[in-house]
Chain A
């Protein structure tokens, strides 16, 4: 009997499809982005290359489990090129096999963290053209993110203004390890634009940024960096709430991508307790911090937490609220979550539909 119930829920998800909030498109060759740069920057990249805080060009700071900077071993396209650079194979391996109705692209490239900020702005614009040209244009199931040079708010807003009429862009993408904490006023023009257009801002954990991966500097191991991702997103959340961003922009929508979610309840509890004691220090924060979180923040699921006792995940889910979580695969990275097997707890059909599809449909206005 139990198995027949399970099958029925699975069938339902299959007919409805899944929204995947974290798909990483890749360049088919290392210099592909140059095709989308104006001549001035094409020459610059040719002569000086793209410099960011990464130690070596084309590498990440830590060695990963698998070739290609940590790709699923079975994701290399048979026709050649790196994982997720071949649209046909991405369609087959991700969209078809995992029944993805809509996948949101999260390009991870140095545009937003290039040392040369003018170049960074040009790279972001090139990334936006590239996403449409190679992925979201030819494949309507894929949607793009507006990459912005967030440290130069004026340029960032100009890029948002330029893309906003193209409905294939469904969010603004910004890295969490910014020069100053995300709530600081230098970023407010971006938040004003995002709120004005009703576009969520997705802050995707990144292996690069202007700052080290922990507040005390660089970790020794990739394993440490992998969960230091949560620290950087905690900083984003507490900074934005306590700087009063959501008093100024009450309709702003923030998505924390790939940083886990089981830490959220304890952060809510701590922020609320300290706010009760010390709110005179931050009189601009008019409500309990967790109330802003409940209205202005969403979270993607991958890499999903796997407690010793799986059912503990249900407590976390209840504390956060099933309306705030959105499923993501992180394709084609090694820590990919498969929508068929990732949640190892029994969700009600309503929770399942919300997490796997409806929350994202509503937030990103995908219908």
Chain B
């Protein structure tokens, strides 16, 4: 083993960091909230009580995805017949209308090339957070409330 390799090996592993980013009631159902974690702008969406997070910047021309409208998947096999599914699981960019799957961050039209990073969000009780190792960046944690914890 060369010394350079040894040096690389000796470096500490980058642990996933967890951040308390919002109280659950700050993101109403069907709405979004923009948060800033370690300099990254991240948009959190409440999809029927489930919280999904993606990078806020649209990869096409840079618009804020948190300002987009939350839409269903719209498909049609023939003119005049439209099928809606996956209600509230896509966001449509406020400028050119690129649609991104909130679960994967992939765009509907060009999933392999045009995509945004998606992040894991968990709901945690305040009581657990007070004990835990998490970084509560701006929040005073109250044991009675529930919080959104985002993993980077």
| Interface residue ranges, A against B (CB under 8 Å) | 65-66, 72-74, 334-338, 340-342
Contacts and interface: CB of A to CB of B under 8 A. Distances in A.
Q: What 4 A-B pairs come out closest when comparing CB atoms?
A: A73-B94, A74-B67, A341-B61, A341-B62
Given A335-B95, A342-B61, 16 more contacts: A65-B97, A66-B97, A72-B94, A72-B95, A73-B68, A73-B69, A74-B63, A74-B64, A74-B94, A334-B95, A334-B97, A336-B95, A340-B62, A341-B60, A341-B61, A341-B62
A65 B92 CA distance: 10
Contacts of A340: 62
10 contacts: A66-B94, A72-B63, A72-B95, A73-B67, A73-B69, A334-B95, A334-B96, A335-B96, A337-B61, A341-B61
Chain B interface helix/strand/loop/mixed: loop
Contacts of A65: 92, 97
A337 B95 CA distance: 9
A71 to B, nearest CB: 9
Contacts of B68: 73
B61 A338 contact: yes
A336 B62 CA distance: 11
A72 B96 CA distance: 8
Contacts of A73: 67-69, 94-95
A297 B64 CA distance: 35
Is the interface on chain B under 10, 10 to 19, 20 to 34, or 35 or more residues? Answer: 10 to 19
Nearest to A334: B95
Contacts of B95: 72-74, 334-336
The dominant DSSP class at the A interface is loop
Contact of A338 (B62, B67, B92, B94): B62
A7 B140 CA distance: 39
Nearest to A306: B60
Interface in B46-90: 60-64, 67-69
In this complex, the member of B64, B69, B96 whose beta carbon has the largest number of chain A beta carbons within 10 angstroms is B96
Nearest to B60: A341
A341 B96 CA distance: 13
A254 B64 CA distance: 35
Interface string B81-120: 0000000000010111100000000000000000000000
Contacts of B94: 66, 72-74
Contacts of A66: 94, 97
Contacts of A341: 60-62
A308 to B, nearest CB: 10
Nearest to B66: A74
Contacts of A337: 61
B34 to A, nearest CB: 11
Contacts of A334: 95-97
A167 to B, nearest CB: 33
A117 B141 CA distance: 68
Contacts of A342: 61
Nearest to B110: A308
A91 B61 CA distance: 20
A336 B68 CA distance: 15
Nearest to B58: A341
A177 B40 CA distance: 46
Contacts of B64: 74
Contacts of B92: 65
Nearest to A342: B61
B78 to A, nearest CB: 15
Contacts of A338: 61-63
A342 B61 CA distance: 6
A12 B92 CA distance: 33
Nearest to A74: B67
Contacts of B69: 73
B11 to A, nearest CB: 23
A342 B68 CA distance: 19
Contacts of A336: 61, 95-96
A342 B60 CA distance: 8
A341 B57 CA distance: 12
Nearest to A71: B94
A66 B97 CA distance: 9
A338 B69 CA distance: 20
A334 B64 CA distance: 13
A143 B96 CA distance: 26
B94 to A, nearest CB: 3
Nearest to A336: B95
